[in-house]
Amino acid sequence: MPPLHTDDWLRQAIGLIEADYQRSADTHLIPLPLPGFAQHGIDLYLKDESTHPTGSLKHRLARSLFLYALCNGWVRQGFTIVEASSGSTAVSEAYFARLLGLPFIAVMAQNTSPEKIAQITFYGGRCHLVESAQAVYGAAQNLALETGGHYMDQFTYAERATDWRGNNNIAQSMFSQMARERHPIPRWVVVGAGTGGTSATIGRYIRYQRHATQMCVADPTGSVFGQYHRTGNAALTAAGSRIEGIGRPRVEPSFIRTLVDRMCETRWPPCAACLPCWAAK
């Protein structure tokens, strides 16, 4: 294989992703007017990550993972791209694999929604279904070995594939979109965690910018992250949640616990911070 810097295919592949990015618009930050909250000085905004070309929330992640793998020399012409996914990341990765002319295989649990499977197939990807959410990692690794391809491994690399200091990452995008609001520096950012990548980017960016903002990660029932956040035990496992895209069965390397100021878990009995909410129901 030619060295990285003279590999024409590689140069072209990176160029294709950069051109795709150049043509793309940012996602909206939508204010949600809540008069009862606003009179107490609280404004709520929703970052709508669904307005990317694939309609998947994982478009930014997929772009970063491809660029990271290409620039590391992990992906060359003709390589099969394999990913373990609960669906959304695979949709966006199928999009980028097709852009580069690479075969793509999504390894997912068999209860993945037919819509997700249809979207992946639409972008030319193949779906390899396994029994459970816990089985996706090993199956993806094996398929990559068998095909001589590359296991993208979002659950390891999401946290490091994104430029957390800037380069229009999701945090920089949100903070610049807030610039002309009455409270331009949010008190809290609330985010769900799938890989942990988004919370890692936002958490680091906040610290780097020395903002007073804190970050809360919402964690659904069945996810292991809440328990991990409380205990620090990385060997913990859980069933995995029923919410598509978030709530993992194992502690992912990409989830950086020290960046999370607060976990909001849907669990019973509720944690002390959530008790007032439960009592009000």
Closest distance of CB 194 from ligand PLP, Å? 3
Q: Name which of 13 and 223 has its Cβ closer to ligand PLP.
A: 223
Q: Name which of 75 and 189 has its Cβ closer to ligand PLP.
A: 189
Residue nearest to ligand PLP as judged by C-beta position: 245
**Residues in touch with ligand PLP (CB under 6 A):** 57-58, 88, 158, 192-199, 245-246
Closest distance of CB 162 from ligand PLP, Å? 9
Q: Name which of 11 and 242 has its Cβ closer to ligand PLP.
A: 242
Instruction: Write the secondary structure of the chain as one string of H (helix), E (strand) and C (coil).
Output: CCCHHHCHHHHHHHHHHHHHHHHCCCCCEEEECCHHHHCCCCCEEEECHHHCCCCCCCHHHHHHHHHHHHHCCCCCCCCCEEEECCCHHHHHHHHHHHHHCCCEEEEEECCCCHHHHHHHHHCCCEEEEECCHHHHHHHHHHHHHHHCCEECCHHHHHHHHCCCCCCCCHHHHHHHHCCCCCCCCCCEEEEECCCCHHHHHHHHHHHHCCCCCEEEEEECCCCCHHHHHHHCCCCCECCCCCCCCCCCCECCCCCCHHHCCEEEECCCCCCHHHHHHHHHC
Q: Name which of 22 and 167 has its Cβ closer to ligand PLP.
A: 167
Closest distance of CB 48 from ligand PLP, Å? 12
Cβ atoms 105, 81 nearer than 8 A: yes
Q: Name which of 13 and 125 has its Cβ closer to ligand PLP.
A: 125
Q: Name which of 10 and 87 has its Cβ closer to ligand PLP.
A: 87
Closest distance of CB 233 from ligand PLP, Å? 20
